[in-house]
Amino acid sequence: MDTRTNPYAPGAGTPPPELAGRDSVIEDAAVALDRIRNGLSAKCMTMIGLRGVGKTVLLGRIAMDAEARGMSTVQVEAKEGGRLAVLLAAPLRSRLLAMSRRAAAGDMARRALRVLGSFVRATRLRYGDMEIGFDSEREPGIADSGSLEHDLGDLLRASGEAAQAHDTAVVLFVDELQYLAQLELGALIAALHQAAQRQLPVTMVGAGLPQTVANAGKARTYAERMFSFREIGPLDSEAAARAIERPAEALGVSYAPDAVESNGVEPGPPP
């Protein structure tokens, strides 16, 4: 096969040419996000699995689909020793700025930006040796207590109210959830819970290693009622065959059945 057109390029988090065997996860996430945008209840989806099974790829695909349907996505990757507030501040600001330029939700989005300014000031966000700040007004008495749980709840509430006025939803996409400290994970769960109680269009789609389930339960005992934990594992033989065969078929190339079998999967139907 010509190396210039070879569709197979495996890598960490890079989308495969054929995302096979994951349709039900993608559809379930789409249904949940549409329900949230429409003011209905839905659990936060969290994909759980070992490294290399495609969680990051799925997270990216669900985020792309949500953006295509007009939702405001905030995509972050947790890091060991990192701070949740640092991760969320900049991408959330960009989404609120975009909302603020639209007449329908401008006032609420501008208020949410002021709340974000208070949040950043109160938490004194630092990245390495550099302190992060936004040149924006603040909303006195909101998200400025210095308590992450309280202030993050205020911030997601203000963001949800702006999204509601704009007939959209704010969706946090958080990869590597297992790296969040228990205090931060608990604050995030509590803030999402408060938004759900107010029926605000704010939710999360996450991904993490298997210990994320236990971590969430330790952080908040009610996490199991808020989250839909979806186990992501290896593809079954039919889906694995599709993942191998279809990219080649698009280039007019077909595999012999024994070639597919040699990769440990059963061959699919003939093209």
pLDDT in tens, 119-142: 988 776 544 444 555 556 788 899
pTM of the model: 0.88
What pLDDT score does 105 carry?
62
Residue-range domain boundaries for the chain? 43-231
Provide the percentage of residues in the chain whose pLDDT is more than 90: 62
Six-digit token pair at 141?
């008495």
The tally of CA atoms less than 13 A away on the side-chain side of residue 62 is 34
Angle between helices 84-100 and 182-197 (to 10 degrees): 30
Mean pLDDT (whole number) for 190-212: 97
Six-digit token pair at 167?
């007939």
Angle, alpha carbons 164-169-170 (nearest 5°)? 115
Q: In which element (H, E) is residue 231 found? A: strand 227-231
Six-digit token pair at 55?
């969680």
What pLDDT score does 270 carry?
38
pLDDT band at 265 (very low <50, low <70, confident <90, very high): low
pLDDT of 268 strictly over 50: no
Question: In sequence order, what E strands does 42-92 have?
Answer: 44-48, 72-77
Q: Characterize 214-224 residue by residue with b for buried, 16 or more Cβ atoms within 10 angstroms of its Cβ, and e for exposed.
A: ebbeebbeebe
Mean pLDDT (whole number) for 143-162: 94
What pLDDT score does 135 carry?
57
Instruction: Out of 35-49, 106-120, 244-258, give the one with best mean pLDDT.
Output: 35-49
Looking at per-residue pLDDT, the higher value among 234 and 9 belongs to 234
Q: How far apart are CA 140 and CA 264, in angstroms?
A: 61
Angle, alpha carbons 41-44-46 (nearest 5°)? 155
SS3 44: strand
Looking at per-residue pLDDT, the higher value among 85 and 212 belongs to 212
Tens of pLDDT along 34-82?
Answer: 999 999 999 999 999 999 999 999 999 999 999 999 999 999 999 998 8
What fold does the segment set 43-231 form as a domain? Answer: Rossmann fold (3.40.50)
CB under 8 Å to 54, separation ≥6 — which residues? 16, 19, 22, 232
Query: What sign for the dihedral angle of Cα 55, 60, 62, 63?
Result: positive
Q: Which of 81-95, 188-202, 205-219 has the lowest mean pLDDT?
A: 81-95
157, 186 Cβ separation under 8 angstroms: no
What pLDDT score does 32 carry?
97
Q: Which whole-number Å values give the CA distances from 15 to 25, 89, 109, 135, 268, in the listed order? A: 16, 27, 33, 37, 22
Identity of residue 176: E
Strand partners, 119: none
Mean pLDDT (whole number) for 205-232: 96
Q: How far apart are CA 62 and CA 172, in angstroms?
A: 11
